Chain A
């Protein structure tokens, strides 16, 4: 398997990867030093929700699936749905958490929308085709959810999603 990779790697150039220490400093990604901290459950929930949104947009754009992508969608949808249910119950019993370090303060209806998104995602990942009116409902729900959370990337930036 590793034989498929080129010997000299200098970045994603001309069908080769590159990673030569002389020319490629360590890449730094993620939070700024002053914002670094352990990831909390709210961080994971929002990240998984963003992933679910990308999965759904990819489906609506008719990007190819594949066995592992389907499995990933089903697993992610199940976890997002369970978290959304738990968070909605927490709000019902304890009210909104205004001290959350991640700033999550969504209304219960937001979590209902997230649950609906997860159910529909699970359905298309399992091969159930969504009729036009269901796809319209999915898009509308997706747009409402996206309005509530910050997104800095569009799926057109991610060309690897167009191949399976």
Chain B
């Protein structure tokens, strides 16, 4: 059995104006990593916070946001903090291509569930034992 550890003090932010979906994502991620999860209901407030307090390791954002939407956020985040992993989610199929073009790391198609969020944690937040499998999608 491979050893797994969660990145020390991992910081994750969730941005969504739909509080029901956002709280579900937060509950799942908080349980997964046993850490506080930052939450925002619009892209502008999130951006101001990140510029002031620093960028998290992972940002999970809805494409549809007030003022600064998820698609507009991606290049700004990647320019300011290239190592931050940006996950965009949407119910609109056409947004997948737009997310890729903007440089998102992950596109999460609605509806999604616990498995997809666990997959995010397993892929990007867990450090594997050096002797473990080396495939990022294993």
Contacts and interface: CB of A to CB of B under 8 A. Distances in A.
Interface string B60-71: 000000000000
Nearest to A67: B34
A159 B126 CA distance: 8
Given A1-B9, A51-B27, A153-B118, A26 B134 contact: no
B122 A75 contact: no
Interface residues of B, number: 67
Given A14-B128, A30-B108, A2 B24 contact: no
B4 to A, nearest CB: 4
Contacts of A163: 4-6
B7 interface: yes
A43 interface: yes
Interface stretch (A4-12, A92-100, A130-138, A140-148): A4-12
B113 A159 contact: no
A25 to B, nearest CB: 8
A118 B85 CA distance: 33
B127 to A, nearest CB: 5
Interface residues of A, number: 63
Contacts of A43: 111, 113
B100 interface: yes
Nearest to A16: B127
Given A4-B9, A159-B126, A160-B125, A55 B112 contact: no
B112 A10 contact: no
B49 interface: no
A71 B103 CA distance: 34
A37 interface: yes
Nearest to B4: A159
Nearest to B110: A39
Contacts of B30: 68-69, 71-72
B136 A159 contact: no
Given A17-B124, A44-B20, A76-B27, A4 B111 contact: no
Given A28-B109, A72-B30, A163-B4, 18 more contacts: A19-B124, A24-B105, A27-B107, A27-B137, A29-B116, A30-B108, A30-B116, A36-B90, A39-B112, A41-B20, A44-B21, A48-B24, A54-B114, A68-B30, A68-B33, A72-B27, A79-B23, A157-B122
* Closest 6 A/B residue pairs (Cβ): A11-B136, A30-B109, A159-B4, A30-B112, A72-B31, A66-B34
